[in-house]
Amino acid sequence: MKILNLKISGISMIKKEIEIDFFAEQRVKDTYDNMASNLFNNIFINNIISIVGKNASGKTSILKLLRVVFSILNGKSLNDIEDIDMFFRPRNNDLEIVFSDGKDYIYKLESKISLEKIYTLENRYKFEKETIYCKKINKTINRKNMLNFEKVEKVINRDGKEQYLQNDVSIITSITNNKKIIFMDLINSTNMNLLRYIGDIPKEILSFLDSNIEYIKFNEETNDALLKFNNKKEIYLNNLLQFEKYLSSGTVKGINIFVVMKYILKEGGYLIIDEIENHFNREIVNTLIRFFVDKNINKNRSTLIFSTHYSELIDEFTRTDNIYITSNENGIEVQKLNNKIKRNDVKKSELFKTGYIKEAAVQYEEYMNLKKFFKDKMNGE
C-alpha cells in the first residue's frame, strides 16, 4: 500500500490546511532520475521527502503528524496513538488520504474525528464520519486526474450508526484486510540517543561507522552483549545504556538507523528520521540518502522522510517537488519548494542562505537583537 496524497485541516497547531504529496508532481523526465520510483502508468513515488526549516518552525511536529496518520491507516485505535492529543481538537479534525495498492485500485479516505465525552478521567477520540471512494487503475489515470474523485461512487460510508465497528478504529481496515503500511520512525531518538537494537549487528555497518569495532554480539534471551574492539579484550555489557560509555553518539545513531533501514528497504516501507544530520557528518547523511535513490538497493519503492536544519543537504536533490518548507507564525504552515521556484538547476542552499526562501531564513532583526545582547554582556552592561 502506497500513500499518494495527504490533506489535513482543522487540527491544533496547524495554521490552515496542509497538503503533502508522496507522488512526484513534476514530470519524471529520464530513467536516470533515481529520486522517484514508478508505481503505475506515469505515476512515480518520491523515494526521498525532506522537511526543511529553521529552528522551531514545526518540522518535528509534521513528522509526528505523519506518524499519527500512518497509525490510523494501519488500523490502530485513535486512543492508543502516540501524540494524538498534541494535534486533535474536540471537533472538526478532517483527514483526506489518497492511497493505492499499486496495481489495481486507488482509494480516497475521508475522515472526521472528534472527542467523545464519556464522563471519566479521560475523554476518547472517535471517528464521527468516514467515507471511502475507490476507482480502478487504467491507462487514463495520470498525475492530473489521479486525485479527482468527483464522479466516483462511495464504496463504504460510516455515519456513526454501525454496531459492528469500533468507533475509534478507521473503516480503512475493511479495504486493506489488515495489510499494514510498513513504517518505522526514529523521532523519539532525536533527544534520547540510545541503542535500540538487540541482535547481532552486521560487520559492514559497524566498519562503516567505526572501523575500530570488531563485533557486537547479543544474547537475545538475557539482552546481555559483548563488545569487541580490534586488538582489545571483549567488554561485557549487561544493558543497552552501557553502550554510551564506549560508542560515539554518531555510531549509536548509525546502528539504529542502518539496521532499521535494511528492514524498510526490503519491505518497501517508510522510514521517518528527525534532524537527520544530528550526530552525523555530512558523508554519512549523504550515504543514507543515496541508498534510497539507488535502484539496485531500493528495489521496493521505499521512502525516506527526514527533517533537517541544513539546506546544504538538499543541494544533491534533482527535484524540488519532494522538498517541503515549514514556517511557524501563529501556526505551522508547509509549502512545497516547487511552488516557490520553478527551476531545478539552481543551488537550493543559496536560496535559503540569501533569504530568498523567507520562511526558512533567520530574521535579521532577531539576529541583531541577539548580537547586541552579547555585545552588552561582554561590555559589562
Quick one: pLDDT at residue 88?
85
Local confidence band at 217 (pLDDT 50, 70, 90 cut-offs): very high
Quick one: pLDDT at residue 121?
62
The pLDDT tens digits of the residues spanning 351-376 come to: 777 667 766 665 666 767 787 888 88
Strands of the sheet with 270-273, listed across from one edge: 183-185, 270-273, 303-308, 48-52, 323-328, 332-336
Query: Stretch 174-178: mean pLDDT, rounded?
Result: 80
Higher per-residue pLDDT: 68 or 157 = 68
Higher per-residue pLDDT: 55 or 3 = 3
Query: Stretch 325-332: mean pLDDT, rounded?
Result: 90
Sort strands 154-158 and 235-237 into parallel, antiparallel or unpaired.
unpaired
Helix (H) or strand (E) holding 270: strand 270-273
Query: Stretch 143-171: mean pLDDT, rounded?
Result: 83
Higher per-residue pLDDT: 241 or 356 = 241
Quick one: pLDDT at residue 174?
84
**Which domains, and CATH codes, for the chain?**
2-182+269-370 (3.40.50), 187-267 (no CATH)
Question: What pTM value is reported for the model?
Answer: 0.91
Quick one: pLDDT at residue 359?
67
Contact between 113 and 127 under an 8 Å Cβ cutoff? The reply is yes
Q: Which range, 108-117, 118-127, 217-226, 263-272, has the best average confidence (pLDDT)?
A: 263-272
Let me know how many helices (H) and strands (E) the chain has, helices first: 9, 17
Taking the chain, what is the end-to-end CA distance rounded to the nearest angstrom?
61
Sort strands 303-308 and 332-336 into parallel, antiparallel or unpaired.
unpaired
Quick one: pLDDT at residue 381?
66
Residue 236 clears pLDDT 80, i.e. is over it: yes
Quick one: pLDDT at residue 199?
81
**Grid cell in block for residue 350:** 543559496
Local confidence band at 45 (pLDDT 50, 70, 90 cut-offs): very high
Quick one: pLDDT at residue 195?
84
Contact between 116 and 124 under an 8 Å Cβ cutoff? The reply is yes
Q: Which percentage of the chain shows pLDDT scores above 70?
A: 92
Residue 32 clears pLDDT 60, i.e. is over it: no
